[in-house]
Amino acid sequence: MTWLPHDFVHPLHVEIPDAGGHRLRPISGADAPLDYPSVMGSRERLWSIFGPAWGWPSATMSYEANLADLERHAVEIEAHQSFNYTLESPDRTALLGCVYIDPPEKRGADAEISWWVVDEEADGALERALDAFVPRWIAEDWPFEAPRFIGWDLTWEEWLRLPDHE
């Protein structure tokens, strides 16, 4: 049994309302030239969020390691094992964040969702638009009954203390 219905088709391009043309789309290895500087340019803040849970992004993460991560994400997306959507600028020349949709690692949810934006967008209009949009998008377009929004429904520290999914 998989965590998604057999006939589920994941969205390919998703416009974010009230975000001036920004959109989400599945990430791929081809995104590494834009993704790597976005991640490493916001590394300290991202580590403060994701580091304890995921060990990401490490201070020594190389371009090649980032590329390998993106290629792994693309394979996982194709197999419907997990989803990583990149947040694109309106002109498609910058990646400004990501949304992760994963099967549950912890009990009490049927999916675990988290997201981030680059430092320059933190606490700004784009982050607020994404914060408002993601839970609505998940409710409307994804087949989950009990999604958990890590960093919003509960802190990462609270999530780490939850019992593991069996």
For the stretch 128-139, pLDDT in tens is: 999 999 999 999
Q: Which pLDDT score is estimated for 1?
A: 41
Which architecture characterizes domain 14-160 according to CATH?
3-Layer(aba) Sandwich (3.40)
Average pLDDT along the chain, 166 residues, taken 10 residues at a time: 85 92 97 97 95 93 97 96 97 96 95 97 96 97 96 94 90
Q: Which pLDDT score is estimated for 111?
A: 96
Spatial neighbors of 129 by CB under 8 A, at least 6 apart, are: 16, 17, 18, 19, 22
Q: Which pLDDT score is estimated for 90?
A: 96
Q: How many other C-beta atoms lie within 10 A of the C-beta of residue 100? A: 18
Tell me the angle at which helices 43-54 and 32-41 cross, rounded to the nearest 10 degrees: 90
Measure Cα distances from 37 to 72, 88, 118 in Å: 19, 14, 10
- Exposure of 53 in the CB half-sphere (CA atoms within 13 A): 19
Q: Which pLDDT score is estimated for 117?
A: 98
Structural tokens at position 146: 């009990």
What mean pLDDT, rounded, does the chain reach?
A: 95
- How far, in Å, CA of 16 to CA of 24, rounded? 7
- How far, in Å, CA of 117 to CA of 38, rounded? 9
Read off the pTM. Answer: 0.95
Spatial neighbors of 79 by CB under 8 A, at least 6 apart, are: none
The domains of the chain are located at: 14-160
